[in-house]
């Protein structure tokens, strides 16, 4: 049932564009470390080319993806069709974190609609593209994006977000440093 592709075809790009959410998976090298799987929404995913993607990463309770990418670069994206027809798409690749201080930031950030609380952009070079049937994925009706995180970020303000990053986003749950901590330590 699974099909493997060398790149994200036009048909698969259309499938991605029709999904309201996606999942990001990363893991540390240590076999005792925690595998991270995060759901994402807010229209934050972009296809940069047939083998390169990016998403606008907003502030969260942790920063596992960024810590894992700094350590080993491995990343997987998964898109599931929750409406007909059933399908699952996985993108496997090597990723990196782009911070607002990076020379790439201005160009990449211009590809997105601004989202309050944005902390970084995750960019990945895709090495393997794989589809599978998705026949066991339940049907769900899309009602809309949640505004809770946007409202939280607006209430915190820019300084409050920076303080939150220092408290919650500099070190992973396994003790790995994130790029945010490295930029802070260089100041």
The CATH number of the domain holding residue 93 is 2.30.110.10
pLDDT score recorded for residue 84: 87
What are 40's strand-pairing partners?
22
Total domains in the chain come to 1
Residue 43 per-residue DSSP state: T
Nearest C-alpha neighbor of 89 from the set 97, 78, 74? 78
Tell me the per-residue pLDDT of 147-172, one tens digit each, with 9 for 90 and over: 999 999 999 999 999 999 999 999 99
Tokens standing for residue 9? 């075809």
| CA neighbours closer than 13 Å in the CB half-sphere of residue 99 | 15
Is-contact 34 41, C-beta < 8 A?
no
pLDDT score recorded for residue 183: 73
What is the distance in angstroms between the CA of the first residue and the CA of the last residue of the chain? 52
Tokens standing for residue 116? 């309050």
Residues of the domain holding 32: 3-137+145-186
pLDDT score recorded for residue 184: 61
**Pairwise CA distance, residues 143 & 20, whole Å:** 10
pLDDT under 50 in the chain at which residues?
none
pLDDT score recorded for residue 185: 60
**Pairwise CA distance, residues 130 & 47, whole Å:** 16
């Amino acid at each position: 049932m699974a099909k493997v592709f060398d790149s994200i075809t036009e048909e698969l790009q259309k499938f991605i564009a029709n999904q309201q959410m996606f999942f990001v998976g990363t893991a540390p090298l240590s076999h005792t470390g925690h595998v991270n799987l995060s759901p994402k929404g807010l229209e934050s995913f972009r296809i940069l080319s047939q083998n390169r993607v990016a998403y606008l990463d907003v502030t969260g309770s942790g920063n596992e993806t960024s810590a894992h990418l700094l350590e080993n670069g491995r990343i997987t994206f998964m898109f599931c069709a929750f409406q007909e027809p059933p399908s699952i798409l996985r993108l496997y690749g090597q990723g990196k974190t782009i911070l607002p201080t990076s020379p790439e930031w201005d160009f990449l950030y211009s590809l997105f609609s601004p989202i309050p609380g944005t902390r970084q952009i995750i960019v990945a070079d895709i090495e393997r593209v794989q589809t599978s049937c998705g026949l066991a994925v339940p049907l769900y009706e899309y009602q809309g994006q949640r505004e809770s995180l946007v409202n939280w970020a607006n209430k915190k303000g820019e300084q409050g977000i920076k303080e939150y990053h220092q408290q919650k986003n500099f070190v992973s749950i396994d003790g790995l440093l994130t790029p945010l901590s490295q930029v802070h330590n260089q100041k």
